[in-house]
């Protein structure tokens, strides 16, 4: 049974999500604010975190950064009441894997949770590795190992992006094509969100990230 940590400073939201998720067979823990969330995250790692963006005290972005520093593979989905691209993009920059509007239909929320959990349970790519310049991306350990001995942990979304681009290194993939490969068809991901995720991935790969080449109005390609 997968365990989900629900973080929101409104009790009515926490209780509502708890009821929905437990009806689907999930185990649920609740946290009322950022500090409470971090304490429960460290006491026992959940399988997924639903994290409110705007909370009193520490906001969701700050909490996400701290969780992500300790567990790069943990699926973190932002909960937001704001249908604004700026909030979404910032969330992906600090390490969120996805976002859900609080007004989204129940089935949309559950579908995104199932997809994120499936990515955590199963490797995001076949066992093995991928050479990207001076970095060797190991899909099993979910990290990039550099020629100088350094390592960098990668999130599930970042590994999915690499898998999508590596499926054909001779061509450019459009934003829509990459979104479908990473998040599934009909996922309402803003183009700016994916660009933000790719920028974060390139930053993690250092100079090797330059091999993720972009062509304006065309898309992205992973150079040989």
CATH number for the domain harbouring residue 160: 1.10.10.10
> How far does the chain reach from its first CA to its final CA, in angstroms?
41
Sort residue 138 into left (φ over 0), alpha (ψ -120 to 50) or beta: beta
Do 183 and 214 share a structural domain?
Answer: yes
Do 139 and 103 share a structural domain?
Answer: no
Domain final residue, candidates 101, 121, 141: 121
Do 117 and 7 share a structural domain?
Answer: yes
Q: Write the CB contacts of 150 (distance below 8 Å, at least 6 apart in sequence).
A: none
Do 112 and 51 share a structural domain?
Answer: yes
Q: Name all contacts of 36-39 with Cβ < 8 Å and 24+ positions apart.
A: 36/7, 37/5, 37/7, 37/63, 37/67, 38/63, 38/66, 38/67
Do 202 and 95 share a structural domain?
Answer: no
At residue 108, the 3 state secondary structure works out as helix
Do 134 and 117 share a structural domain?
Answer: no
Residue in 29, 36, 26 with CA at minimum distance from that of residue 60: 36
Tens digit of each residue's pLDDT, the chain (224 residues): 899 999 999 999 999 999 999 999 999 999 999 999 999 999 999 999 999 998 988 899 999 989 988 887 789 999 988 766 566 666 667 778 888 888 888 998 998 898 888 766 544 444 578 999 999 998 888 889 999 999 998 888 888 899 999 999 999 999 888 988 777 665 656 677 788 889 989 999 999 999 999 998 889 999 98
Do 140 and 58 share a structural domain?
Answer: no
Residue in 121, 200, 192 with CA at minimum distance from that of residue 158: 200
Q: What pTM was computed for the model?
A: 0.67
Domain final residue, candidates 81, 104, 121: 121
The CATH code of the domain that includes 41 is 3.40.50.2300
Do 66 and 40 share a structural domain?
Answer: yes
- What is the span of the domain harbouring residue 50? 3-121
């Amino acid at each position: 049974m997968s365990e989900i940590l629900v973080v929101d400073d409104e009790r009515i939201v926490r209780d509502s999500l708890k009821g929905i998720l437990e009806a689907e067979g999930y185990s649920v823990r609740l946290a009322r604010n950022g500090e409470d969330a971090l304490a429960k995250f460290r006491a026992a790692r959940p399988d997924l975190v639903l994290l409110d963006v705007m909370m009193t005290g520490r906001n969701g972005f700050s909490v996400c950064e701290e969780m992500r520093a300790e567990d790069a593979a943990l699926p973190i989905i932002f909960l937001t009441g704001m249908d604004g691209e700026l909030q979404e993009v910032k969330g992906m920059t600090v390490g969120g894997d996805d976002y859900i509007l609080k007004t989204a239909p129940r089935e949309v929320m559950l579908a995104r949770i199932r997809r994120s959990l499936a990515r955590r349970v199963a490797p995001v790519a076949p066992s093995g590795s991928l050479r990207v310049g001076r970095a060797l991306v190991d899909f099993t350990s979910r990290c990039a190992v550099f020629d100088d001995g350094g390592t960098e942990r990668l999130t599930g979304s970042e590994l999915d992006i690499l898998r999508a681009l590596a499926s054909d290194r001779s061509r450019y993939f459009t934003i829509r094509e990459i979104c479908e490969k990473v998040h599934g068809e009909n996922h309402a991901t803003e183009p700016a969100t994916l660009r933000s995720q790719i920028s974060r991935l390139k930053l993690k790969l250092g100079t090797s990230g330059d091999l993720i080449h972009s062509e304006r109005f065309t898309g992205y390609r992973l150079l040989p």
